[in-house]
Amino acid sequence: MLLILLLLLALPVLLVALVLFLVWPGTPRAALRQPFCGRSYAHRGLFGTQQRPPENSLPAFAAAARSGYGIELDVQFTKDRQLVVFHDDTLDRMTSARGGVDSTPWPVVSTLPLAGSGEHAPLFSEVLRTVARANPATPLIVEIKSRYEYKGRYLVELCRAVLGALKNYPGPYCIESFDPRVVRLVRVMAPGVVRGQLVDSYRNHRIYGTAALPAYLLSHCFGNLLARPDFIAWCPDKRNWAIRLCAALGAMTVMWTAMPGHDIARLERDNDAVIFQWYDAQPKYK
Per-residue pLDDT of 26-73, as tens digits, reads 999 999 999 999 999 999 999 999 999 999 999 999 999 999 999 999
Average per-residue pLDDT for the chain: 96
Any long-range contacts for 129-135 (C-beta under 8 Å, 24+ apart)? 130/58, 130/61, 130/62, 130/65, 131/61, 131/62, 131/65, 131/71, 131/169, 131/171, 132/169, 132/170, 132/171, 133/62, 134/61, 134/62, 134/65, 134/66, 135/65, 135/66, 135/68, 135/171
Instruction: Check the CA dihedral 156-157-162-167 and report its sign.
Output: positive
Look at the chain and count its residues: 286
In which band, very low, low, confident or very high, does the pLDDT at 7 lie, cut at 50, 70 and 90?
low
How far is 251 from 44, CA to CA, in rounded Å?
Answer: 24
How far is 196 from 217, CA to CA, in rounded Å?
Answer: 17
Residue 4, classed as helix, strand or coil, is: helix
| Number of C-beta neighbours around residue 215 at 10 A | 20
Q: Is the pLDDT of residue 255 over 80?
A: yes
Burial class (CB in 10 A: 0-12, 13-18, 19+), 139: buried
Which pLDDT value is given to residue 10? 67
What is the DSSP secondary structure assignment for residue 50, as one 8-state letter? Answer: T
Q: Is the pLDDT of residue 1 over 90?
A: no
Give the predicted TM-score (pTM) of the model. Answer: 0.96
Based on its alpha-carbon atoms, the radius of gyration of the chain, rounded to whole angstroms, reads: 20
Nearest by Cα to 79 from 46, 105, 109: 105
In which band, very low, low, confident or very high, does the pLDDT at 283 lie, cut at 50, 70 and 90?
very high
Work out the percent of the chain whose per-residue pLDDT is above 70: 97
What is the DSSP secondary structure assignment for residue 193, as one 8-state letter? Answer: S
Q: Show which residues are catalytic.
A: 43, 87
- Decide yes or no: CATH 3.10.129.10 for domain 29-276: no
| Angle (CA) 233 234 236, round 5° | 140
Which pLDDT value is given to residue 16? 87
